[in-house]
Amino acid sequence: MKGLSELLRLAPEEFAAWARRVNDTSAERLLGDWSWWRRADQCPPQGDWHVWMLLAGRGFGKTRAGAEWVRGYAEAHPGARIALVAASLHEARQVMVEGESGLLSIAPDDVRPEYESSLRRLSWANGAVATLYSAAEPESLRGPEHSAAWCDEIAKWPQGEAAWDNLMLTMRIGDNPRVVATTTPRGVPLVRRLMKEKGVETTGGSTGDNCLNLSPQWLATMDAIYGGTRLGRQELRGELLEDVEGALWTRALVERCRVEAASVGKPMRVVIGVDPPATANGDACGIVVAAQLRDERLAVVEDASVENPPPHVWAQAVAAAAARWGADRVVAESNMGGEMVEGTLRQADVALPVVPVHASIGKARRAEPVALAYERGDVVHAGVFESLEDQLCGLQVGGGYAGPGRSPDRADACVWALAALQEGLRKGRGPGVRRV
């Protein structure tokens, strides 16, 4: 039987002859046969790969490709144990399971799996089971074992590398465990890392590749609005871009400001910027140490941020950083309650002055003077701070944020610390209290 792509290349009279030979039974079988409908760019790569990463624009058909791969794997491997991982459990259910291209929608009636929402579980008649996980809860991936996994939109996972590493440790059943990762490309640490790892096969495509299944009006509108822009290249053409459109920091700028940690010498003054977590739902506490050097340049010397900590943990992390660097003071963002932040730090025996600062203007306006200092060469990074730098490169002119995670907690802490040191230099004294 010819595939769809082959049929579309037939001459009209050849296609008509083929259509006459197709009876109702054959037509019904074709409608449920993904190997007939899929495009070549939706096929898994050849060879002995461990991870297939499909980077493609919106509307490409990534979800369908991932769901069909899982369906085929489950039907061919009785008793298989499969992980379905998304940015949240809600997205795993709404997209991967119940979505228009999800596992329940694509399965023929006679082989449709049973979905038990309370157990986060899909079960096939042959004993294969798929379990839903949230990348926002990496610890939930400790313990189970899997022979296959489908990971959706890994570029937006809130704790991407932690979730991925925990998942990889579960891939220990069978002779050849495999993982499919489908995502619109973004230059976050996990995607960049997988691009370089052995055993990872990367394929890609654009929105236009699936034009036969998309609204012509929508395609025309998207092209008119985003054609030729960096956002269009990323979201529609599926290109992996390192810099964010309108970013205050670029990767080239950060690299230009990097120096060896040993070269900064003994600092004259050290300030710790703190951006406390706004909620207890997976937010990190940004803790960044900045120093004034003897030549009056400013240096970022440590990113001591901690992920999803209770108050006493992040307060102790601040205290430890202050002790390591002999800090002069802590500058802590207090929008969520200045007395609470200061009290939490006091309970952790932070003996140095705590300066609460209040963000009375937007993120972009308070970050712009700091970004300009980078441009002038007045700020250096004494080492590599990958997570912090990814967030800085996600801060955009006008106040947007397009970096990894839900909040630029590390970047905000960095801006608070450097801005306080800048203020101190302007006034010819140590960093003081200010409203920004």
Sheet hosting strand 200-205, strand order edge to edge: 114-116, 121-123, 129-134, 81-86, 148-152, 178-183, 51-56, 200-205
For residues 225 and 125, the model is more confident at 125
Mean per-residue pLDDT of the chain: 86
Three-state SS for 142? coil
Quickly list DSSP for 335-382.
Answer: TT-HHHHHHHHHHTT--S-EEEE---S-HHHHHHHHHHHHHTT-EEEE
- Can you give the pLDDT at residue 271? 96
**Cα dihedral angle (136, 142, 147, 148), rounded to 10 degrees?**
0
- Can you give the pLDDT at residue 164? 96
**Residue-wise pLDDT tens digits, 130-159:** 999 999 999 999 889 999 999 999 998 888
State the architecture of 251-427 in CATH terms.
2-Layer Sandwich (3.30)
State the DSSP code for 45: P
Tokens for 326? 């002999």
- Can you give the pLDDT at residue 428? 72
Alpha carbon separation from 329 to 355, 422, 432 (Å, rounded): 7, 14, 9
Residues 243-267: what's their mean pLDDT?
Answer: 87
Residue type for position 428: G
Do 292 and 262 meet the contact criterion of CB atoms below 8 Å apart?
no
- Can you give the pLDDT at residue 360? 53
**Residue-wise pLDDT tens digits, 328-374:** 999 988 765 456 677 777 776 666 788 877 765 556 667 888 999 99
Residues 420-430: what's their mean pLDDT?
Answer: 80
Domains 38-235 and 251-427 share a fold: no
Do 248 and 395 meet the contact criterion of CB atoms below 8 Å apart?
yes
Residue type for position 373: A
**Residue-wise pLDDT tens digits, 22-81:** 665 555 556 567 777 788 888 999 988 999 999 999 999 999 999 999 999 999 999 999
**Residue-wise pLDDT tens digits, 94-123:** 999 999 999 999 998 888 999 999 999 999
For residues 283 and 407, the model is more confident at 407
Share of the chain above pLDDT 90, in %: 51
Residues facing residue 274 across a β-bridge = 287, 332
Tell me the C-alpha distance between 291 and 285, whole Å.
20
Range in 247-256, 337-346, 412-421 with the lowest mean pLDDT: 337-346
What Rg value do the Cα atoms of the chain yield, rounded? Answer: 26
Q: Which alpha helices (DSSP H) does 227-283 contain, by range?
A: 230-235, 251-256
State the DSSP code for 398: T
Do 290 and 299 meet the contact criterion of CB atoms below 8 Å apart?
yes
Tokens for 228? 């030729």
Alpha-carbon 62 to chain mean position: 17
- Can you give the pLDDT at residue 435? 32
Classify domain 38-235 at the CATH class level: alpha beta
Domain coordinates in residue numbering, the chain: 38-235, 251-427
Whether 430 has a pLDDT exceeding 60, the answer reads: no
Backbone angles phi, psi at 323, to 5 degrees: -70, -40
Sheet hosting strand 379-382, strand order edge to edge: 258-259, 379-382, 298-303, 286-292, 269-275, 329-333, 354-357
Tell me the C-alpha distance between 290 and 411, whole Å.
12
Query: Which residues lie closer than 8 Å to 94 by C-beta, 6 or more apart?
Result: none
